[in-house]
Amino acid sequence: MATSTSSKLSKAVKQQYMDLPQGDKVQAMYIWIDGTGEGLRCKTRTLDSQPKTIEDLPEWNFDGSSTYQSEGSNSDMYLIPQAMFRDPFRKDPNKLVLCEVLKYNHRPAETNLRQMCKKIMDMVLNQHPWFGMEQEYTVLGTDGHPFGWPSNGFPGPQGPYYCGVGADKAYGRDVVEAHYKACLYAGVKICGTNAEVMPAQWEFQIGPCEGIEMGDHLWMARFLLHRVCEDFGVVASFDPKPITGNWNGAGCHTNFSTKEMREDGGLKYIEESIERLAKRHQYHIRAYDPKGGLDNARRLTGHHETSNINEFSAGVANRGASIRIPRSVGQEMKGYFEDRRPSANCDPYAVTEALVRTCLLNEEGEEPVKYK
């Protein structure tokens, strides 16, 4: 299987330098979403002291013409720090800084969906919207071939791989374990992980997170996964259907609740939200992958534990429905529901914003409402 050349460099030699003292200086790696809406970019600057809050971090800039975000004749873009995490690769006191991107006129870049999401979340603070997102991904070689698959063929059919144990069932667990620890060190709210149905496919769960925090923590968890895979010389793919045929796709199931839903009698509010979602299916499909539904169309076929992209459905414990109410929620009459439609490569800011708009702000129609 193809792995990157850089992964074969001596890590022992590198560690000699990583162990050197750095005085009072701090390395801050600024991270942002590029013009594809899926890719992440990063660069590092030196700070004179350890930042305690976001306000301690300076704004910065970069060349947007090299990240699909501007023309070369007017290429400066601004990085505005929004969330700060510990750096598990360089270790304390160094930081990872998730940033919003603004254009030359200080308006949000086209793929900066965070700013509007934050505005929407601020409108419903008193309802305390909680989210949990289940991020599926596939480990690939640098040649795009799934990790551990035979070079000229396929592994055995799906069945033994989901939550599997053993060298013939779990492909790439080293990546998963390293990523889990990196998230915990960084302060990302990772709450679990498991092997998925297709071999070389895995899932990690982020949450519960309230409001804008959901998007921040999922994007940082994705960055950490890419960075861990870089060290191992492999690639993490969020493609919703990386392998055609009789193989499961990759989603990002999103669990959602409000304070009312979590309290006694909350099932009533869950059912009301599902009724609103049923009337706005196409709006959500467009919001749930970066290509307006085209990526998800390859995954949401009605097979392989998915609903059909053209139909809305809901049910208790039904993994083939658009919306699943967990059996325990049906029994306890309170809790949360799971939207199974978002694709693995969705923007979590877009997904969480859409849920709040429809379920809490009671929006209707095919377009989002513009608020002053």
Q: What is the pLDDT of residues 336-371, one digit of tens each?
A: 999 999 999 999 999 999 999 999 999 999 999 999
CATH of domain 121-361: 3.30.590.10
Three-class secondary structure of residue 333 per DSSP: coil
- Residues 37-44 have a mean pLDDT of 98
pLDDT-based confidence at residue 300 (cuts at 50, 70, 90): very high
- Between CA 41 and CA 68 the distance in angstroms is 11
pLDDT of residue 283: 97
Strands 314-316 and 323-325: parallel
Phi and psi dihedrals of 90, rounded to 5? -95, -15
pLDDT of residue 88: 98
pLDDT of residue 1: 75
- Between CA 20 and CA 18 the distance in angstroms is 6
- Between CA 295 and CA 297 the distance in angstroms is 5
Q: Reply yes or no on whether the pLDDT at 75 is more than 90.
A: no
pLDDT of residue 362: 97
Cβ-based neighbours of 9, under 8 Å, separated by 6 or more: none
pLDDT of residue 318: 82
* Percent of the chain residues past pLDDT 70, beyond the cut: 100
Residues 341, 284: contact at Cβ < 8 Å?
yes
Architecture of the structural domain at 7-110? Roll (3.10)
Distances (CA, A) of 357 to 230, 272, 273, 354: 37, 14, 11, 5
Q: Which of 84, 74, 126, 67 is nearest to 104 (CA)?
A: 74
Residue at token pair 């493609």: 239
Residues 288, 296: contact at Cβ < 8 Å?
yes
Domain range list for the chain = 7-110, 121-361
CA 232 and chain centroid, separation:
21
